[in-house]
Chains A and B, each alone.
Chain A
């Protein structure tokens, strides 16, 4: 009798143990399924983020009405403002803003087209209070296609400067900037920009591109940047009667530019 009871108890204990083990297995399986679902979900989410991150940015050489509209905007900004080489504005302006930039740098594009720069040109440069001197410093281009491409595109801008249209070329480059780290700034692109500049003699521009003094100018700009400790673009240095100042922001607003101008005026 006692052994029967004992057998029953043992069977019950075995059954309970099996139930516990089954429940534990089910819980483990459920947890692993949850972890697996989270991992798959995370991979899908990150995949989408990567596609969005590396997705093609609109840009590149414009044609037709789009190119005409851009040219009109650029001409309206620069019309009537004196130019000499890479200098925009009255050469006797009391304040000089030296702009260290790279044509392929997206933040330079942001500053030139959407930051405080257009307002500075419309107001202070147009009124002869400030002149802007562009100096090239290789950042984005050297992180992508390299120094040779950088030299080539900067020389193309300086060659337009030989006909006092450096700033038209520079503005058009930023307006039609392509996707970073792609080799978009090829011969067709550089010549295409030059074709969009009204009044530019294309054959003179082509021959000026071979002028060794322009390549020397690019090297000299790079050397100047290293001398004053420029590490990124855009870097803006203001020089005036009261000394020197730097812009307080990477992409300064017009009021921040004004503040720097007042500081040195």
Chain B
């Protein structure tokens, strides 16, 4: 009795592949949060909130807008940008994703500080978004630092006879 042994190696996802999947999923979660808050803002609806009035208080504070644009909408644009960066090849895509996530993370920290020390109320949606942005900043930083640029094509060894021929051709 013979046993068929598969010689095919199991397909494994590279570190970059895993990071791209995680960043993609987190960006979609962020798009969900930003999209919901943007929709409720422009539709003039109340935000679903677990705590008593925290979301309303934060949403109605002056920190909920930046230059007349709801910060939730800016967050939504940031998440979409990070998602798009996954399809841009090479260092540019990684740098763009990292840059957007870092800006989002730093601004989320500022808004969380305002929630704690100025508004004295917390909005779960905002805290959720801040958590997602923090994770995105970490993952995009890892992706940026682990980037291995394609090595330059090795120079072909040139034999002495070949070099002589090249020199003769130049004369």
Q: How far is the CB of A194 from chain B (nearest CB, A)?
A: 26
Q: Are A57 and B62 in contact (CB under 8 A)?
A: yes
Q: Are A46 and B95 in contact (CB under 8 A)?
A: no
Q: Is the interface of A mostly helix, strand, loop or mixed?
A: helix
Select the residue from B43, B59, B62, B107 with max chain A CB neighbours within 10 A. Answer: B62
Does A249 lie at the interface of the complex (its beta carbon under 8 Å from any beta carbon of B)? yes
Q: Are B102 and A49 in contact (CB under 8 A)?
A: no
Size range of the chain A interface in the assembly: 35 or more
Interface set of A (CB-CB < 8 Å, partner B): 23, 27, 31, 34-35, 38-39, 41-43, 45-46, 49-50, 52-53, 57, 105-107, 139-140, 143-144, 179-181, 231-233, 248-253, 256
Q: How far is the CB of B154 from chain A (nearest CB, A)?
A: 9
Interface set of B (CB-CB < 8 Å, partner A): 43-46, 52-53, 56-57, 59-63, 66-67, 91, 95, 98-99, 102-103, 106-107, 110, 118-121, 141, 144-145, 147, 149, 151-152
Q: Given contacts A31-B147, A45-B103, A57-B62, are A256 and B44 in contact (CB under 8 A)?
A: yes
Given A38-B95, A49-B107, 5 additional A-B pairs, CB 8 A = A31-B145, A46-B107, A53-B63, A106-B60, A249-B43
Give CA–CA (A231, B52) in the complex, Å: 6
Q: How far is the CB of A50 from chain B (nearest CB, A)?
A: 6
Chain B residue numbers with a CB within 8 Å of A248 are: 44-45
Q: Are B106 and A42 in contact (CB under 8 A)?
A: yes
Q: Are B103 and A42 in contact (CB under 8 A)?
A: yes
Q: Are B59 and A250 in contact (CB under 8 A)?
A: yes
12 chain-A/chain-B pairs, Cβ below 8 angstroms:
A34-B91, A34-B95, A49-B66, A52-B67, A53-B63, A105-B60, A139-B60, A140-B61, A250-B44, A250-B45, A250-B56, A250-B59
